[in-house]
Chains A and B, each alone.
Chain A
């Protein structure tokens, strides 16, 4: 699994309807209630350090306390993504430690930077609120289940011993019928607790996001930095592409045309004196012209594959599949044509993923799904091969660079032993109402 980027975490969410899922969610609620102690501890450390600032020792204590608090809040951010798919944008990193660490003015500077840091105060606000809001919230389904267990699993054995005044909720348990009623009520509590757990986790994640998400300006700054970076990348890629095209034309078709001109000249000279030699040269010219055409064809294919221009992404991928030596099963559910740049990025990305599968997976077949849902092109390439693909391989880096200008994402899931699933998403609108149907190839 690659580093989760904004907007792609939803892909990994499991619907929490199964019993096992509900039990896991109860466990998570338990974890949240206990973790509140750590939050409280970290918050107290920071407050202590702040109170000690006037006497100087706070300067020493504040940075490690803030770092501990940040580690705690980062853990909560991770949980929110993993458990509910709620992405909480991380704040800017805390101010770095001075080098060398003994430098007193450096320490002053670090503490001052910390005190001016929005993310630090957000963390602290959260540390104050979490134990008596989030943790209490998480305790609700937990309490339901535990109290339910008491009614369903403990009362049947203890009601005789407990004697008078043994109340379970609103039931006075003093006979077998009332014991059975308590048992049923206990089961009801357990069911309610299990049912409430996933919703509680979602609510908790939303609440954490409200408290912990980076301020809007931080997100904007980050976005601008990202855009500037990806724009520079695009310009680099474009320049390199143009250089390649220029070089290919110069060394390929252009050179061959020059050679053809020279050979034709020679043939013209020989025409009267040595007709057979002239004929041989003319044959050579024809062969050269065909090679020049082949050069141009390859060049055009690398820039924009004609089938992509003619038929769009679905058929272009079908064409790729026909050239692959794997058995490729294709499902296409696209609403007609997509914007040309998106089709192009999607095509080259799928081509790379398919080539990777052919090269590394060892699987005999590959499944490709193309769909357009929720305003994004989504392509998945799955094989049942050996897995363990390197998410940072140069090919996949190239795919990410292609997707970057569109805010597209690539998620690779490739545990050792397989299967490998690569999912890419490119946000885009579809541009034509024409519908292409789904079909497979042999």
Chain B
């Protein structure tokens, strides 16, 4: 799988390249600034891009802008965005297209290699991955607004993991329950929140996120 990597700190760029290569990815370009990223994304047509939000020359949201720009000319270009902090506005902008193949994670998450690699693969396959912090804040808000009041605590746990973009299997593993139990919870959640159930994993994630953002 061909990956483009954008990260301006040499140590992190180096470490990420090695991690990705160890897990069978081909890092076709590792760039350190926004304009080079945009050019590479458009020319190289990678299977997935791993992008740090804050890049030179402006050291603001250069990476995000380049990724969004590239997705305008090539919709659904898979991009996993990494950042030292997560902001709900950036999550909104990344999800705005509604076509998936997008990820938004705190940089800390790369220390958990298997989960990070899973996230890269999910995004490359057209899925959606959101950082637990983004979801946690959405849930706090839904709780205050009362839009998830009818869910049991267990269902809320399942909802959170589902919104992060985890598969049923991953949810089951995290919560130490069986996959059939997860399926049961999921069905209950969809009925209670009146979300159209969908067999397609990515549609399911996007529907849940759309509900939480209401």
Q: Which residues of chain B come closer than 8 Å to A307, judged between CB atoms?
A: 87, 89-90
Q: How many whole Å from A86's CB to the nearest CB in chain B?
A: 43
Whether A290 is near chain B, meaning CB under 8 Å from some CB there, is yes
Give the residue of B90, B108, B213 whose beta carbon is less than 8 angstroms from that of A290: B108
Q: A298-337, CB under 8 A of B: which get 1 and which 0?
A: 0011000011011100010011001111000000000000
Are A325 and B61 in touch, CB under 8 angstroms? no
Cross-chain pair count, CB within 8 angstroms = 45
Are A301 and B108 in touch, CB under 8 angstroms? no
Select from chain A the residue with minimum beta-carbon distance to B147.
A325
Q: How many whole Å from A355's CB to the nearest CB in chain B?
A: 12
Q: Which residues of chain A come closer than 8 Å to B107, judged between CB atoms?
A: 293
Pick from B97-105, B137-145, B169-177 the stretch touching chain A. Answer: B137-145
- The residue among B89, B112, B141, B145 with the most chain A CB atoms within 10 A of its own CB is B89
> Which residues 3-47 of A have a CB within 8 angstroms of B?
none
Supposing A306-B84, A322-B92, A325-B145 touch, asked if A311 and B112 sit within 8 A by C-beta, the answer is no
Are A325 and B144 in touch, CB under 8 angstroms? yes
Whether A297 is near chain B, meaning CB under 8 Å from some CB there, is yes
> Which residues 48-79 of B have a CB within 8 angstroms of A?
54, 60-61
Q: Which residues of chain B come closer than 8 Å to A325, judged between CB atoms?
A: 141, 144-145
Are A442 and B60 in touch, CB under 8 angstroms? no
For the complex, would chain A's binding face be called helix, strand, loop or mixed by DSSP majority?
Answer: helix
Alpha-carbon distance A315/B87, docked complex (angstroms): 11
Are A301 and B111 in touch, CB under 8 angstroms? no
Are B85 and A310 in touch, CB under 8 angstroms? no
Q: How many whole Å from B54's CB to the nearest CB in chain A?
A: 8
Q: Which residues of chain B come closer than 8 Å to A294, judged between CB atoms?
A: 108
Whether B214 is near chain A, meaning CB under 8 Å from some CB there, is yes
Whether A430 is near chain B, meaning CB under 8 Å from some CB there, is no
Are B89 and A297 in touch, CB under 8 angstroms? no
Alpha-carbon distance A162/B111, docked complex (angstroms): 104
Q: How many whole Å from A50's CB to the nearest CB in chain B?
A: 67
Are A309 and B111 in touch, CB under 8 angstroms? no
Select from chain A the residue with minimum beta-carbon distance to B62.
A310
Q: Which residues of chain B come closer than 8 Å to A300, judged between CB atoms?
A: 85
Q: A362-390, CB under 8 A of B: which get 1 and which 0?
A: 00000000000000000000000000000
Are B84 and A297 in touch, CB under 8 angstroms? yes
Whether A289 is near chain B, meaning CB under 8 Å from some CB there, is yes
Alpha-carbon distance A306/B61, docked complex (angstroms): 10
Whether B198 is near chain A, meaning CB under 8 Å from some CB there, is no
The 8 closest A-B pairs by CB, nearest first: A325-B144, A322-B88, A319-B89, A310-B60, A310-B61, A290-B108, A307-B87, A325-B145
